[in-house]
Structures are given as structure tokens and as C-alpha cells.
């Protein structure tokens, strides 16, 4: 590099800030393109519907990460690193590539630093997954711009005949955490919960649910509510911009052997993200698994990327997705991305409706 070339230092941190990192890159390479991957490996290793990464460009120097970083080999050529304390993904290395990729959720700054380029590996989702809500973004069958261009709508399949499934399997990439979910039952109603920010924005008032509405049950009590979240805590604890949660009563979550859910199953590890609020992740592969709190201990947020529904990644015979709002969108770190997501959710909700 020439001595007069401008250099920008990128900085990264996880939720607990025990892992921090930085890299020096040529300023002229900004904004860095980032891609959203929908492959099975990324879904089950992150726990999310999709994972977003930006590759450090040619000319990057002084790439450093410090703190309790754990490494997981998801294949012979790929290593994924995460904070062993809070579970945030912090680094992705494909040993066939010269430089690592950084999860976009841990960037200290995104405006002017990153720019969405593509959705890729859509066939793994069976139904398009998260890309259905970002349909204005170029999409690819495999690696971006090196594989066939596709559309999320190419993967819209029929869900007829699939509602008969009575159990839904869930697992992280290493399968150190495995559990199953049952259809709503009478026990699904035997709890109370404040409204979620997804449906009642907390900035507009308290979340109290005076009428005791069972908001987590949908479609005549045959499905569970699911939604997207972009709060700072979810972003930093996963490492990615868009978290996807399903709201499942604890009474409907079981260990693989049929025992009731316990938060110490397998390789599960707990992180206390704030007073009375807990997150679990796989201590071996780093997948986000659960969120729960003292305020509603019997209703659990389950990370949707772990679910293995026969119809596809969105699990639409089990889940009804909330399209009116992205939870905590006021906290959006990458405002352009969240604006596109919000518009895409509303656009999809209007498909088939009379104009």
C-alpha cells in the first residue's frame, strides 16, 4: 500500500464485551458488502433463520480478536468462532479464502461501513426462509454472483397435508442441544404474559396485558406466534442483525427423551444478559437457543433457525409470523437493512389481498 492511502479501523464487540476485535482496512473499500446466508449450516449454527457476514477486503491488516473466543469446526474447511461467555458469533473462517468474514451484528458502526449485497444458498430453506421478506435483494442458489440467480418465490411450496405433524424437532449444528416442540394444548393457555414489543411497542406505553390475551397462540390455537427482533441485546448476543424468535409455552417444549424442558440439557450454557433476563446458547457450536425472563417464566422465546420443519425454514405449519412490526425497530443498528425488512414483511402480508 502507498504511504498516503487512507486507513479506517473497524471495531467489533459481543454482548458481554469480553470479546473485542478490530481490523484496519483501506478506507476506499468502504462500504463493505455483506451477504445473508440461508444455508443449513448457518441456520443451525447461528440458531437464526439466516446469518449475515462481511468479508474483510484485500489490504486489511492488524486483524485482532481478544477474549474468551471458542472455535467450532462446522466442516473440514470452515471454522466459526464465538464468545464462550455470551455466545455471540464473532468470526468466520473459510480456509479456502485469504481473509475472514465478520458477523455484521458485532460491528460498532454500520452506517457507511457495510452495505447489503445478496441473499444466498436459498435452496436449503425449502421455502425461501428470511429472503421472502427481503425479496428486493439479489438472491442466489449458491455463492453470490458465482451461482444461478433465483427468486425467493421460486421456493414457495405447498403446506397442505403437513398439519398432521404432532412434534417439531429442534437442534443446533453439533446436536449438543436437541429438543422438541408439541402442538398447542390446554396447558398452552395456563399462563399469562405481558405483551411483547413485537405487538405493543414499549416506547408507546407499559406492556401490561390487562385482558390476559393469549397472544402467543395463533390460527385458532393451532400455531405459535413468531417474529423478528433487532434489539441491541439480541443482535450482540447472536452476532447478527436479525434475530427470529418463536414464542412457545414451556409446557410444550420437551427434551428429546420426552422429559420436560430443563435449561441444563446437553451442551446448553446460560448467559444472564440483564437482571432477571436469561439467554441460552450451545457451548460447543455457539448456536443461540432460548431467551426467557422472570417476568414471564413459562413462555420461552425459541430461536427459529434450530427448528427442522418438513415444509421449510419458516415452519409455517407451526408458526404464524407477525408482519406488522419488527420488534425494537427503534434500536436498529443497521437502519437500512431493518427498513427493508419492515417493508418486506408488510409487502408479503399484502400478497393476495385485494388492492
Q: Is there a single domain that holds both residue 204 and residue 323?
A: yes
Q: What is the dihedral of CA 101, 112, 117, 96, to 10 degrees?
A: -20
CA distance 167 to 190: 20
Which letter does DSSP use for residue 222 in this model? T
Q: Which of 29, 35, 20 is nearest to 240 (CA)?
A: 35
Instruction: Flag whether 229 is in a domain.
Output: yes
pLDDT, position 11: 98
Condensed to tens digits (0 to 9), the pLDDT of residues 22-49 reads 999 999 999 999 999 999 999 999 999 9
Q: Give percent of the chain with pLDDT exceeding 70.
A: 95
Percent of the chain that is helix, strand, coil (3-state, to 5): 20, 35, 50
Q: Are residues 149 and 188 in the same domain?
A: no
Q: Taking the model in full, what pTM does it have?
A: 0.95
Q: How far apart are CA 13 and CA 335, in angstroms?
A: 19
- pLDDT, residue 349, reads 87
Q: Are residues 313 and 178 in the same domain?
A: yes
pLDDT digits (tens, 9 = 90+) for 251-276: 999 999 999 999 999 999 999 999 99
Q: What is the DSSP letter of 74?
A: S
In 3D, which of 170, 309, 191 has the Cα closest to residue 251?
191
Q: Tell me the C-alpha distance between 56 and 161, whole Å.
A: 45
355 falls in which pLDDT band (50, 70, 90)?
very low
2 located within any domain: no
1 occurs within a structural domain: no
Q: Indicate whether 127 and 151 sit together in one domain.
A: yes
Task: Evaluate whether residue 162 is within a structural domain.
Answer: no
For residues 3-19, average pLDDT: 93
Supply the CATH number for residue 202's domain.
2.170.150.70
Last residue within a domain, chosen from 106, 127, 155: 155
Per-residue cell: 139: 438472491
Q: What is the pLDDT of residue 103?
A: 99
CATH number at residue 52: 3.90.1590.10
Task: Give the total number of structural domains in the chain.
Answer: 2
- Band the pLDDT of 5: cuts 50, 70, 90: confident
User: 309 and 196: one domain?
Assistant: yes
341 and 204 fall within a common domain: yes
Residues constituting the chain: 355
Domain assignment of residue 355, yes or no: no
Domain residues for the domain of 242 are 167-345
150 lies in the same domain as 174: no
- DSSP codes joined into one string, 94-150: ETTSSS-EEEGGGBS--TTTEEEEEEE-GGGGSS-GGGGG-TTS-EESSSTTTS-EE
Predicted pLDDT of residue 165: 86
Residues 322 and 178 in one domain: yes
Tell me, yes or no, whether 354 lies in a domain: no
Mean pLDDT of 106-128: 97
3-state secondary structure 37-57: ECCHHHHHHHCCCCEEEEECC
Say yes or no: 324 and 236 in one domain. Answer: yes
Average pLDDT over residues 223-242: 99
Amino acid at each position: 500500500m502507498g504511504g498516503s492511502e487512507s486507513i479506517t479501523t473497524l471495531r467489533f464487540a459481543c454482548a458481554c464485551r469480553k470479546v473485542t476485535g478490530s481490523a484496519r482496512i483501506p478506507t476506499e473499500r468502504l462500504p463493505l458488502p455483506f451477504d445473508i446466508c440461508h444455508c443449513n449450516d448457518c441456520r443451525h449454527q447461528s440458531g437464526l433463520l439466516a446469518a449475515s457476514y462481511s468479508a474483510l477486503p484485500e489490504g486489511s491488516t492488524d486483524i485482532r480478536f481478544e477474549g474468551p473466543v471458542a472455535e467450532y469446526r462446522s466442516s473440514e474447511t470452515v471454522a466459526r468462532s464465538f464468545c464462550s461467555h455470551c455466545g455471540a458469533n464473532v468470526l468466520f473462517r473459510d480456509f479456502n479464502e485469504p481473509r475472514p468474514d465478520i458477523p455484521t451484528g458485532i460491528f460498532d458502526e454500520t452506517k457507511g461501513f457495510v452495505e447489503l449485497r445478496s441473499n444466498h444458498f436459498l435452496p436449503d430453506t425449502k421455502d425461501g426462509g428470511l429472503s421472502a421478506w427481503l425479496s428486493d435483494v439479489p438472491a442466489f442458489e449458491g455463492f453470490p454472483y458465482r451461482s444461478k440467480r433465483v427468486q425467493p418465490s421460486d421456493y414457495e411450496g405447498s403446506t397442505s397435508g403437513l398439519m398432521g405433524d404432532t412434534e417439531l424437532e429442534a437442534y443446533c449444528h453439533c446436536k449438543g442441544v436437541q429438543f422438541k416442540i408439541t402442538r398447542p394444548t390446554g396447558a398452552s393457555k395456563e399462563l399469562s404474559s405481558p405483551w411483547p414489543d413485537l405487538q405493543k411497542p414499549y416506547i408507546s406505553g407499559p406492556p401490561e396485558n390487562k385482558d390476559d390475551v393469549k397472544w402467543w397462540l395463533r390460527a385458532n390455537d393451532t400455531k405459535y406466534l413468531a417474529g423478528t427482533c433487532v434489539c441491541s441485546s439480541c443482535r450482540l448476543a447472536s452476532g447478527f442483525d436479525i434475530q427470529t424468535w418463536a414464542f412457545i409455552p414451556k409446557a410444550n417444549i420437551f427434551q428429546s427423551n420426552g422429559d420436560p424442558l430443563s435449561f441444563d440439557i446437553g451442551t446448553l450454557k446460560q448467559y444472564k444478559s440483564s437482571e432477571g433476563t436469561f439467554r441460552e446458547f450451545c457451548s460447543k457450536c455457539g448456536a443461540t437457543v432460548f431467551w426467557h425472563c422472570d417476568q414471564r417464566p413459562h413462555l420461552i422465546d425459541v430461536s427459529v433457525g434450530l427448528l427442522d420443519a418438513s415444509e421449510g425454514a419458516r415452519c409455517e405449519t407451526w408458526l404464524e409470523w407477525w408482519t406488522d412490526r419488527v420488534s425494537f425497530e427503534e434500536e436498529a443498528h443497521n437502519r437500512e437493512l431493518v427498513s427493508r425488512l419492515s417493508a418486506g414483511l408488510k409487502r408479503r402480508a399484502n400478497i393476495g389481498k385485494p388492492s
